């Protein structure tokens, strides 16, 4: 009826016009009608589809491999400042902004993401825990959303320089007065200056550890230790006072503080608030042969760089969650990657051999272990930490190791072969 009335109005107006004007108006009408029909065909009535078909489309879209770099997919600390929990806000923070068409589409897409796909979370442990708490803080559907999450992948591309950790909250400075130390020195000689700098990835761009005193809610609450006692009188002590801690000891102290104040609380939160979480994926790294040789000779207690030691501790927490009979976690997947381009070209690990012989390095074959000396340092560090907590042997776990050769795509963020290691409980 509306279409007939519109055509009748046009015809009535043309009857009062000159023939030349009528012809021109008719041409304009045809152009307008053509554009209108094209426009109506271009707008697909997506929400008129049954929910089952919409879910197929959501899942198909989410299964498409994202070719953006992991730096582009990071969650920044400053995102917490204005974050208000909604399906659209969560999708935006997680970089699935292509679903932000309307609220209904956002809610349905978020459900598909959490229930059927691995959620990639590249941020520090405090930021992730704070984000999860904000999602479930209000009386809305946030708590239900978190109960849908089945699989997560952890990363922290903006891992900070721990020289500035934790921030001094009183004066707005970047360092505690009681632990102002120098950077942990780079592991390589001048032949590769810069490439092996542990904090080279920070550059001049966004720093996850940047401290703004006006936003204390963006950082965990730290309590400085009690003041150190006065040193004893060493006048009659021929050996003199004890030497001060080295920069490496200071850095290790700060890493311990990071684990205690951020990593442990995060895993306690995951265990308590994500009851459907069955899979966690995280990275570990292997060094180049030259870097491993040099670090072993110059710093035997810190063969692994600081960031790898951080991920060792995260892996330990994930294993403890996997080993708990109270946890629904059934799969722990580790992506074993080259630490840098030099590790890609000359890895300390023989990846095909590791894939064939496994990652336990538990001495069941003495000849084999001697041949594999220097391999799997990150895994060995994980096993050492778990043994220190009372876990021995293979802990009732089985490991499936798969060698993933590099596909040669130089535009990919992943360059070089890696291993995919999947741990599950026996039985």
Q: In what order do the strands lie in the sheet with 397-404?
A: 118-122, 151-155, 279-286, 331-338, 418-425, 397-404
pTM of model > 0.75: yes
Strands 279-286 and 418-425: unpaired
> Can you tell me which residue has the tokens 């953006």?
68
pLDDT at 11: 57
**pLDDT band, very low/low/confident/very high, at 194 (cuts 50, 70, 90):** very low
8 Å CB contact between 403 and 353: no
Which residues are 414's β-sheet partners?
A: none
For the chain, the average pLDDT equals 79
Of 174, 201, 175, 176, the C-alpha closest to 186 is 201
Backbone angles phi, psi at 398, to 5 degrees: -120, 150
pLDDT, mean of residues 256-274: 93
pLDDT above 50 (res 173): no
Three-state secondary structure of 53-70? HHHHHHHHHHHCCCCCCC
Q: What is the DSSP string of 354-397?
A: HHHH-S---SSSHHHHHHTTTS-HHHHHHHHHHHHTT--TTTTE
pLDDT above 70 (res 298): yes
Q: What is the pLDDT of residues 4-43, one digit of tens each?
A: 555 566 556 656 666 666 566 666 666 676 666 665 566 7
Q: Which of 135-139, 194-198, 386-390, 420-424 has the lowest mean pLDDT?
A: 194-198
Q: How far apart, in whole angstroms, are the C-alpha atoms of residue 232 and residue 229?
A: 9
């Amino acid at each position: 009826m509306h279409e007939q009335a519109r055509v009748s109005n046009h015809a009535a107006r043309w009857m009062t016009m000159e023939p030349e004007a009528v012809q021109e108006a008719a041409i304009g009408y045809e152009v307008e009608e053509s554009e209108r029909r094209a426009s109506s065909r271009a707008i697909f009535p997506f929400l008129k589809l049954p929910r089952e078909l919409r879910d197929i489309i959501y899942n198909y879209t989410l299964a498409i491999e994202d070719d953006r770099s992991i730096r582009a997919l990071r969650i920044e600390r400053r995102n917490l400042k204005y974050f208000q929990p909604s399906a659209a806000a969560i999708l935006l923070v997680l970089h699935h902004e292509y679903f932000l068409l309307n609220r209904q589409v956002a809610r349905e897409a978020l459900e598909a993401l959490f229930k059927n796909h691995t959620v990639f979370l590249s941020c520090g442990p405090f930021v992730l825990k704070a984000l999860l708490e904000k999602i479930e803080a209000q009386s809305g559907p946030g708590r239900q959303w978190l109960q849908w999450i089945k699989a997560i992948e952890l990363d922290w591309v903006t891992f900070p320089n721990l020289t500035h950790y934790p921030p001094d909250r009183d004066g707005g400075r970047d360092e505690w007065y009681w632990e102002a130390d120098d950077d942990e020195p780079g592991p390589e000689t001048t032949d590769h200056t810069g490439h092996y700098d542990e904090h080279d990835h920070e550059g001049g761009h966004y720093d996850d550890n940047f401290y703004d005193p006006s936003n204390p809610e963006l950082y965990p609450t730290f309590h400085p230790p009690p003041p150190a006692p006065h040193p004893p009188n060493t006048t009659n002590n021929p050996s003199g006072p004890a030497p001060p801690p080295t920069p490496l000891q200071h850095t290790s102290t700060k890493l311990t503080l990071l684990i205690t104040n951020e990593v442990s609380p995060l895993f306690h939160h995951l265990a308590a608030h994500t009851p459907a979480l069955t899979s966690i994926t995280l990275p570990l790294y292997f060094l180049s042969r030259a870097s491993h040789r040099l670090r072993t000779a110059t710093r035997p207690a810190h063969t692994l760089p600081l960031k790898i030691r951080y991920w060792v501790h995260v892996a330990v927490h994930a294993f403890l969650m996997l080993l708990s009979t109270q946890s629904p976690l059934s799969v722990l997947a580790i992506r074993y990657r080259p630490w840098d381009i030099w590790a890609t070209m000359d890895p300390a690990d023989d990846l095909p051999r590791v894939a064939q012989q496994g990652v336990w390095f538990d001495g069941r074959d003495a000849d084999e272990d001697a041949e594999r000396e220097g391999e799997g340092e990150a895994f060995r560090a994980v096993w050492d930490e778990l043994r220190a907590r009372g876990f021995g042997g293979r802990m009732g776990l089985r490991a499936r190791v798969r060698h993933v050769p590099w596909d040669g795509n130089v535009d990919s963020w992943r360059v070089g072969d890696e291993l995919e290691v999947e741990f599950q409980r026996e039985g």
